[in-house]
Structure 1
Amino acid sequence: MSMPYPDAERVPSLWFPLAKKFYQAHYPSGKPNKADPIWVIKQKGTILCAVRLKQSKNAQLLTAMVTEPNYRGKGLGSHLLSGIQTALAERSCYCFALTHLVPFYTKNHFNTILAEQLPKDLKSRFYAYTAQGRALTPMRYQQP
């Protein structure tokens, strides 16, 4: 199926303030950081979907995946993840999926794993998040 959306692109430093504004509007806890790559799909200068690849010592954590509310449920998130497969495969890539989003991430080449299989630094972060009451499932990207 052909997507009517532009390809994913990495946010250049010039666009960082716009990515930050997008996160503040749609996912305030996303807290973008200039040190971590942010990938977006934008249309006519407007960000429609974004994801951050938080870098750690031995891996990366896919985090802050968000789609502009008017574009949700239209395949844009899958289109973005498909467009960044090379970046996802560069280093071991994990995500902490909200439990109701496990089917979405599974469809996009992430496999459920045990928390014990996470790298040490990500494991401690995962346990801290779940201790706060977040319903999360650890997952790892498998290149298709």
Structure 2
Amino acid sequence: MDIFQIFLVIHIIAGTVCLVTGAFASVVRKRYGKHTITGEIYHGGYVVIFLTSAAMAIIHWSESAFLFYIAIFSYGLALWGYLARKLRWKNWLGMHISGMLGSYIGIITAILVVNGSQIPFISEMPILLLWFLPTIIGSPIIAIVSQRYKK
């Protein structure tokens, strides 16, 4: 197993952790306890996703340089949401919701784009739709959730 494959395995494990913990954090009560612990695990997993994405993009730069920029953007959303809550910025809750759900859209998009060809029904969709469908569906959800928790 070469270094790229090691990074890929770690990346897949971290992505799975984020997929599960992100979903869980979105449905549990929003207070200290399950939500915050799960959120910490989600953020830690996203750090690993970011680092492995960047490493894999650098290793295969000519084929996947764009992944480096996607990793920066997606992790930027996760970091934005995480820091908004940790540092209690003004209007932190809206930034937290937008950042965390936006980063979750990034996870879903990555899964669809990378694995869509192996998923029945999804494999028949144009690849461009797989890139944009999570954002098309997720953006109104972010707006609804943000409105629900708005003070």
Band the TM-score falls in, shorter-chain normalisation: under 0.3
Between Structure 1 and Structure 2, whose CA radius of gyration is higher?
2
| TM-score after normalising by structure 2 | 0.27
| TM-score after normalising by structure 1 | 0.28
Larger strand fraction of residues = 1
